[in-house]
Structure 1
Amino acid sequence: MSLVEIVSHNEVIYTILDKPPPEPPKTPRYQSALEKQLKETKIPQLRRTFGYAEVPVSPPDKFLKKGEGIGQPVKKSDHKHYTTGDLPPVPRRPPPGKKPEKPKVNFRVVNIKKAIKVKGRPVEPRLVDTRDGHTKKIKGSGEVPEYCLRPDFGQMPAYLVKRNRRIQRALDAIRYAEENKESLCKQIADEERQKLLDDLKLNWQLMQKAFLQLPMLTDTPPKILKKAKMEQELKQLEKDILLVESNPYIYVYD
C-alpha cells in the first residue's frame, strides 16, 4: 500500500460543477401606440375641487313657475308633407244654427191627469186583537184558512209526478223486453255438430300422437307433470267425443 501526500493544490469544487444554462431573454413589454398620443393631447384641468362647501341658495325671484317643470317630452316626427300645385282652400266652418226650441209642457196639468187615472191602493185587511187598538195583518196570522184554499192543495207535487212517470216507463220497458225476448237456448245444425265432432277427433289424434312421443322413463318431476296433464286432456277429449256422438240434438245457451 502506497501513501500519496498532497501538500498544495489549486482545485475548487465550484469550478468542477456544470454551470446552469443562461435564462432566455424576456419579451419586450406591450405598450400601446396611442398611450403617448393620449398623454400629449390630454389637457390637465387645474383647480378642480369637490364642489361648494355650502350649496348656494337661489334668489327668491328664481322659483319654479307654472309650465317650467319637467314635462312629457315632445315627440318629434320625421314626416314631411310635400304639396304639388295649388290646393283648394279649406272650407270654413258653418255658422252655428239655432237650437230647436223645446216644447213647453205644463207639468201641473200632466200630473193632475196622471193622478186622476191612478187607481187607489187596496186596503189590506187587518185584525184588531186588543182593546187598545193593536192591529195585525189577517194574512199569515192563522185566523183565516189559507193553505187549504190554495189551488194546488191536496195534489201530488210535480217532482213526485215526474218520478212516478220515470218509474212507470222503466217498468214498461222491462215488461216489453220480457214479453218479446227470444229464447236463449237454440239447437245447432247438423253441419255444425258434425264439424264439432271432427274437430274433437282431430284434436284427440294430435294429442295422442304427442303423448306417444313422450319418453318411456319418467324420472323427473317435469316429465311426470307433463304426462299427467296430457292424460287428463285425452280423457276430457274422449268424454266430449262420446257426449257429441251419443246426443244427435245439441242445444246451446247464449
Structure 2
Amino acid sequence: MSIVEITQHDENIYRILDEPPPPTPKTPRYESQLEKELKAKKILPTRRTFGYAETPLTAPENFLKKGHGVTQPLKKSDHKCVVSGNLPPVPKRPPPGKRPEKPQVNFRVVNIKKAIKTKPKTIEPRLVDTRDGHIKKIKGSGEVPEYCLRPDFGQMPQYLVKRNRKIHMAYNKIQEIEKNKESLCKLISVEERESLLADLKHNWQIMQKAFLQLPMLTDTIPKILKKSKMEQELKQLEKDIALVESNPYIYIYE
C-alpha cells in the first residue's frame, strides 16, 4: 500500500460550498427588424402634453347668463302670418240649454217582474257515499248508465254516413257511364279484310324466301337460333292467314 503526501497546495475544503455556481449564458433576445423600421418612420405628434397642471377657473364676472347656454336650434319655416286689422270677431259661447229630463223608473216594480220571470237554478243530482257526508256528482261517476241512454247510441256516426253517401254516388255514376258507353268493338269491311290477308301473305312469302336462303348446315349456335326464330315466325303467319280466311266477319277493338 502506497501513501501519497501532498505538502504544497492552496485548496480549502471549507470554502468549496461558499462559491456560487457559474452563471449560465443567456441567449440573445429576439428583436424584430420591422419594429425598428416602423419606429424610425414614425413621426411624433407635436404639442402633446398631459394638460394643465392646475385647472384655470373662470372669472366671477363671466357667469352663465340667460340665453347664452347650450340650446336646441330653432326650426325654421317659410310660413309667414299676415295680420290685418279687419279680422272677424270671436264668436260668443252659446247659452246653455236645458238638460233632457230622465224618465222616472220604478225599480221596485222592475225587480219584482224580473224575479217572477227568472227560472230557478236546476239542482244537479248528487250522491252521498260515506257516513261523513262526502258528496259526489252522479254525472260521470259511473253509478248511473248514461252512454247507453244517449239519443245517438247505436247509430252510425255522421262522418261514416257522409262517406258511404259519397261512395254510393260515385258507384252510381260509374254504372251510368258504363250503360251509356258506346261499344268499342268495330267490324272491319271486306276491303280491309282483303288488304289484311294480302299483307299477311306477302309477309309470309318474304319470310319463306329468307328461310330458304339459309345454309343447310347449322353447325353454330347463332345459325340454330336464327333458323328456329324464323320457323316460329312462319308458323305464326300461317296461323294468322288461316284465321283470316276462315272468318269472314272480323271485329277489332279500338
Task: Please indicate the TM-score interval, normalised by the length of the shorter structure.
Answer: 0.3 to 0.5
What TM-score, normalized by structure 1, do the two folds share? 0.47
Normalising by structure 2, we get a TM-score of: 0.47
